[in-house]
Amino acid sequence: QLQLVESGGGLVQPGGSLRLSCAASGSTLDYYAIGWFRQAPGKEREEISCVSRRGDNTNYADSVKGRFTISRDNAKNAVYLQMNNLKPDDTAVYYCAVPPAGWDCGYQFDYWGQGTQVTVSL
């Protein structure tokens, strides 16, 4: 079965950068759209980005637009989230997730990783 593992989180100062990785096993990500989500303490889960199955379309939440970039590398069976100009409000657990095979961004996400903590603080 498809498994997703996030990595790359950590503690960073405001204005800094991190690159999150989402590595897949059990299946190839070629068949899936991939989304990034985050959940901060006291807040609901937020979808922040998604890349389409074909990699030709991406979308971003207004809160991260212009600062975060999603990309995929099918050769490595991975997806990345480059996060620049990080702010304290970006502090959250970040998850990657995918919808059912054959369905694109905008549909229900069925497979989730365990998350990686990102903390932005002085």
SS3 94: strand
Residue 55 has pLDDT above 90, yes or no: no
Percent of the chain with pLDDT over 70: 100
- What is the arithmetic mean of pLDDT over 59-71? 97
Percentage of residues of the chain with pLDDT beyond 90: 84
DSSP structural state of residue 108: P
Q: So what's the pLDDT on residue 117? A: 98
CB 26 within 8 A of CB 3: yes
Structure-token match 């759209």, residue found: 33
How sure is the predictor about 106, in pLDDT bands with cuts at 50, 70 and 90? confident
Q: Are strands 116-120 and 10-12 parallel, antiparallel or unpaired?
A: parallel
Query: Residues 6 or more apart from 7 whose CB is under 8 A from it?
Result: 20, 21, 23, 116
Q: At which residue do the structure tokens 């971003």 appear?
A: 60
Give the pLDDT band (50/70/90) at residue 30. Answer: confident
Residue 54 has pLDDT above 90, yes or no: no
Separation CA 112–CA 116 (nearest Å): 12
Over residues 87-112, mean pLDDT: 94
- The residue ranking higher by pLDDT, 107 or 12, is 12
Position 74 scores a pLDDT of 86
